Chains A and B, each alone.
Chain A
Amino acid sequence: MRVIRCITCGKLLGDKYEEFEQRVKKGEEPKRVLDELGIKRYCCRSTVLTSIDLTEEIAKFKR
């Protein structure tokens, strides 16, 4: 799963991934979506831009 808070500054990001992902998939520019979600600092922006959700991959295997 994606991180809940920004790795560097601790800003809450967990509730913003879904909207970000959907809007970017629809063709919106990532920069605009980040701005509108109120993600200002570059630590938070890079965290949102670069994280990948691997839960479904992990779920195939036994814990």
Chain B
Amino acid sequence: MELKIRKLEGDEMGFTLSDSNPAFANALRRAAMREVPVMAIDEVEFEVNDSAMYDEILAHRLALIPLSTPAKGYVLPGECGCREGRCPKCSVSLTLKREGPATALSGDLKSTDEEVVPVSGSIPIIKLERGQRLELTAIARLGFGKEHAKWQPGVVAYKYMPVFELNEKACDGCGACVKACPVNIIKLSKGKPKISDITLCTMCKGCAEACPPKAIRIGSDPTKFIFRIDSAGGMPAEQILLKAMGVLKGKLDEFSKQVKKL
């Protein structure tokens, strides 16, 4: 199995996984999206809410604000000795105080830990009219994406590596495939189509259908995968991948331990 990073820019990451199989690719994707814990607001106590929205709706909006999550330092509420999920080891408290006319923004949330803050300060929570007040305390905890989407660290997606097969003898170099390609990755070189970057291929088979002598076949390689990780912002994309691998390894270790017991 081989992993090659194609792109790594802040919240986005692209890599190819080769010499693998669909089961492993899917296990990796699921581990990354469902089992990598990140911080999200889990409980909100309202002191004052004069706004146009109900407490529940505001709590829901607050929960969806992505929070930056340090790689270490916090434990899951279930694994913490405090049992209540309110101690500084497993929770962070964020307070908000705002009076209208104003828009309460995510940047108005004051956190007890400067490492756990909203990834963007300009997310509007609620618009307050004159005289309306909003005062609340929110408690953020670690959690899993399998429990609620607010705890998903990001979006992980993969596709099979496309394969462009050309019957050199049948190809007459007419260039119909070049025009048919919606992502413009086919170029004619010495009268034959050449692919510039096969990872961009969407497997639409437009080139195969447009080819008059039917010289092109589009297939896929089920041992190679093109992955993309798009972080929600709370955790860098490469860290999501590393943590997902750790989760997967832990599960496999546990599995082999259980099998040995049999």
Contacts and interface: CB of A to CB of B under 8 A. Distances in A.
B127 A12 contact: no
B127 A11 contact: no
A17 to B, nearest CB: 8
B47 to A, nearest CB: 16
Given A5-B64, A55-B126, A15 B120 contact: yes
B152 A10 contact: yes
B54 A10 contact: no
Nearest to B153: A10
Interface string B44-62: 0000000111100000010
Interface string A31-42: 000000000000
Contacts of A11: 155, 230, 232
Contact of B127 (A4, A9, A55, A61): A55
Given A10-B155, A12-B66, A55 B52 contact: yes
B122 A4 contact: no
> Which of A1, A5, A63 counts the most chain B CB atoms within 10 A?
A1
B172 to A, nearest CB: 36
Interface in B111-128: 119-127
B30 to A, nearest CB: 15
Nearest to B64: A4
A4 B65 contact: yes
A58 B232 contact: no
Contacts of B149: 10
B129 interface: yes
Contacts of B53: 1, 55, 58, 63
Interface in A13-28: 14-15, 17-18
Interface residues of B, number: 26
Contacts of B37: none
> Which of B52, B53, B149 counts the most chain A CB atoms within 10 A?
B52
B54 A12 contact: no
A63 B122 contact: no
A59 B66 contact: no
Contacts of B124: 1-2, 14, 17-18
B126 A12 contact: no
B233 interface: yes
B230 A63 contact: no
Contacts of B233: 12
A29 interface: no
B140 to A, nearest CB: 15
Nearest to B100: A59
Interface in B135-155: 149, 152, 154-155
Given A17-B124, A63-B53, 4 more contacts: A1-B125, A4-B123, A14-B65, A14-B120
| Nearest 9 pairs of A and B residues by beta carbon | A14-B123, A59-B52, A15-B120, A4-B64, A15-B122, A58-B52, A55-B127, A15-B123, A5-B64
